[in-house]
Amino acid sequence: MTVTSTGRTTGGSPSATCTYHLTPDDRRARALHAFFQSYWLELLRHADVQEDRLSRNQYVDAVRRASVDTSRLNVVDGLGHVLFDVIDVNGDNEISREEYTRFLTDVWSLEEAEALQAFRTLDTDSDDTVSRPEFLKAIRQYFLLNDPDAPGSLFFGPA
């Protein structure tokens, strides 16, 4: 797999902007675009390359480095806030079971049962919604911990 500065990869799932019908002038689409432009620059910086392309190994290594280095961009929290705003379709500052299931089934092509399992794991207070703090905690666990039992290990569904 090769990842380029336009964010294109070979294979994979449809983008969130396509699945969520975000127009270019939608605030959430602009936030996604701005975040991923900054993120890409951080990945290139951490890969220490001159070109705008990364091999799979360079990409994986750069993601690990950028996830823990918050000196220029807090990748984990930035991604968490941007994704939360996209997934929270109705804008009530909570992610419902239906919203999260849609995210995992439409964007990541998970089966509905797997998506529901992931939702229940992230809903740590069992109120049938994922709050912004629960979501940010999960994405931090996903990127920063190596614990398969942490709720965040299911952030993008089961492995």
* Residues 87-134: tens digit of each pLDDT: 999 999 999 999 999 999 998 889 999 999 999 999 999 999 999 999
Please say if the pLDDT value at position 6 is more than 60: no
Tokens at 116, concatenated: 């529901």
Instruction: Output phi, psi for 129, to 5 deg.
Output: -145, 160
What is the pTM assigned to this prediction?
A: 0.79
| Local structure of 93: helix, strand or coil | coil
| Strand stretches in the chain, DSSP E | 3-4, 53-54, 94-96, 129-131
Q: Which residues have C-beta within 8 Å of that of residue 63, sequence separation ≥ 6?
A: 43
The percentage of residues in the chain with a pLDDT greater than 90, rounded to a whole number, is 61
Confidence tier at 19 by pLDDT (50, 70, 90): low
